[in-house]
Structure 1
Amino acid sequence: MIQRTPIFPGILELNFQAREVLGCNVYLIYDEDEWALVDIGYEETVDDFVEIIRKLDFPLSRCKMLIATHADVDHIQGLAKLKSLLKTTVTAHPNAVRPLAEGDTLWTLAEIEAQNLKLDMPKVEVEHQVTDGDVIKIGNLDVEVWHTPGHTNSQLAFRIGDVLLSGDNIYRDGCIGAIDAHHGSDIKAFLASLRRIRDSDVKWLAPSHGPIFANDKDFMNKTIDRVSGYLKMADFGTLAESWPLMDQWDEEVAAGKLPDGLG
């Protein structure tokens, strides 16, 4: 057995518990004799996480559910294997149901042809669908569900008291979850989710990658200001709302204007 080191009352993070980063952050929420997992990561590390759970003295038969923050392969490839081992159920947002049930390698980013990336994406059924405002009960613990789209359209976050398990919304270095049209990214929705987190009275953010950090308005504003600029950048293609350079080009073409010092 190993000693439990909660990051907050009723919450363990299994990489931190093992003193080794095995993959994405995996949160074990527990109260009384019930527990649940938020995310699991890749299939190859499932056995490692199960062994950690055993050593923490959590009976495998008392796992109430497996919860997916969203349907990206680095968070959920191991769901089918773990579900079979624990004989439990899966909970996710409605937008994650189809890609999980079909094992959609494109939507889950398990397949990126240009990078010669092709990972297995085992199919898994979602028994319970949750969305914004729902409450998941683990023992006597209330887990409040937030739908925070932007990174993907299925991105969920989970509030427990003063802490938000914040998924891929934002990390301690100010980075955010990858913006990619192939898995339902939306910059405007992302900004709304970031503002919601900033304006909440949540004190701590426990992300899906990297260390926990404080919910600081100045810090959040720096990221929000940067991401706001993405809406007017060609870098983000069809996810941007406009490209101001093209308006300038229209005017310069109509006026026959060349740069100063040229022509």
Structure 2
Amino acid sequence: MKVTQHVHQLPVTTPTLFPATTTNIYVVTEGNSAVLIDAGYEHEGAHQTVVEYLEKIGSPNVEAILLTHYHRDHSPGAKFFTAHFDCPVYAHPAEAAFIEGEIAPVRVEHTLLDGDVVQVGRLNLHVLHAPGHTHGCLNFWLPEDEVLFTADNIVGAGTTWIGPPDGDLRAYLHTLQRLKSYPARWIAPGHGEMIADVQEKIDFFIGRRLEREEQIYSLVAERPRTVDELVQAVYRDTVHPSVIWVAERTIQGHLLKLAGDGRVRKADGNRYEVV
């Protein structure tokens, strides 16, 4: 559906993580020009949703597919769309090889760096290198509509997981602070509905990470603990076994930042202790 003058949000079915059940593909249009931001999973129904919607709004010329990151709920659909619309795939160079693994034999034809601008008709879509969820994650800023496209750095429901090998909590917090500096009226998240309370939402995500960090530090200060022990203490029975790996990597990500800050260190038996 159309969410601002130049932005359309299309939630499509993907194998993503609860509470999300869909991934947002965005169509940015101006005149007869358009780009897609993200491509979802390789799912025929999702492909058809996008194709039919573009026909409904006048079949603008899709000039590029801009992928925020390589995860399988965001990138594999580009294999279909690049052929259907006869357009190239763009991504950050740190994501290109991983994306090409998902969309082979299609290649990433053009890489995007922080500060680049993608022209969509007369619109300037500004490229932000926004590491945190992944090392080469891209976000976008559309000043004409005052929209920040945040991919999985900020989502509409729940929070996003940040942990190794893809994620970096220190980089993530820096990215969130940077996103606060834009005079956005809307956040267009990778999952969930458009977000109007921009500053409040970003502050919530920052506060949630810092709160979790202090919780983990306090648990380690009580006594040295392993990652598994911390997962049990922090999440207990709140995480389904199918996604326990997300909890483990989240704990690992916090421990890496705490160690980098000189607050904890790895002791004997894979346990972490305060410094």
Provide the secondary structure at the position in 2 that maps to 1:35: strand
Provide the secondary structure at the position in 2 that maps to 1:190: helix
Unaligned 5+ residue runs, structure 1?
104-120, 250-263
Provide the secondary structure at the position in 2 that maps to 1:210: coil
The amino acid that maps onto 1:146 is L
The amino acid that maps onto 1:31 is E
- For these two proteins, the number of residue pairs brought into alignment is 220
Provide the secondary structure at the position in 1 that maps to 2:74: helix
Identify the residue that residue 34 of structure 1 maps to in structure 2.
33
Provide the secondary structure at the position in 1 that maps to 2:65: strand
Identify the residue that residue 165 of structure 1 maps to in structure 2.
149
Unaligned 5+ residue runs, structure 2?
13-19, 217-226, 232-250, 269-275
1:28-67 to structure 2, matched below 5 A, reads 28-44=27-43, 45-59=46-60, 62-67=61-66
Distance 1:247 1:66, change over 3 A: closer
The amino acid that maps onto 1:65 is A
Shift of residue 223, structure 1, vs aligned partner: 2.1
Q: Does 1:237 align with 2:219?
A: no
Identify the residue that residue 113 of structure 2 maps to in structure 1.
131
Q: Distance in 2 between matches of 1:198 and 1:204?
A: 12
TM-score between the two structures when normalised by the length of structure 2:
0.71
Q: Distance in 1 between matches of 2:80 and 2:173?
A: 35
- Once the two structures are superposed, what CA deviation does each residue of 1:193-239 show, in whole Å capped at 9, x if it has no partner? 11111233222111010011124434432321221355563552265
Provide the secondary structure at the position in 1 that maps to 2:39: coil
Shift of residue 242, structure 1, vs aligned partner: 3.1
Q: Distance in 2 between matches of 1:63 and 1:211?
A: 23
Q: Distance in 2 between matches of 1:82 and 1:126?
A: 13
The amino acid that maps onto 2:162 is I
Q: Distance in 1 between matches of 2:50 and 2:111?
A: 24
Q: Distance in 2 between matches of 1:169 and 1:99?
A: 19
Q: Does 1:11 align with 2:7?
A: yes
Q: Does 1:149 align with 2:164?
A: no
Larger radius of gyration: 1
Distance 1:32 1:129, change over 3 A: same
Provide the secondary structure at the position in 1 that maps to 2:97: helix
Distance 1:122 1:215, change over 3 A: farther
Shift of residue 174, structure 1, vs aligned partner: 5.5
Q: Distance in 2 between matches of 1:35 and 1:247?
A: 50
Shift of residue 55, structure 1, vs aligned partner: 2.3
Provide the secondary structure at the position in 2 that maps to 1:214: coil
Identify the residue that residue 204 of structure 2 maps to in structure 1.
222
Q: Distance in 2 between matches of 1:79 and 1:46?
A: 9
Percent of aligned pairs with the same amino acid: 27
Alignment RMSD: 2.7
TM-score between the two structures when normalised by the length of structure 1:
0.75
Tell whether the 8 Å contact from 1:15 to 1:22 is kept in structure 2 after alignment. no
The amino acid that maps onto 2:6 is G
Identify the residue that residue 101 of structure 2 maps to in structure 1.
102
Shift of residue 11, structure 1, vs aligned partner: 1.0
Farther-moved stretch of structure 1 (125-134 vs 230-239): 230-239
Shift of residue 141, structure 1, vs aligned partner: 0.5
Identify the residue that residue 82 of structure 2 maps to in structure 1.
83
Q: Distance in 2 between matches of 1:33 and 1:222?
A: 38
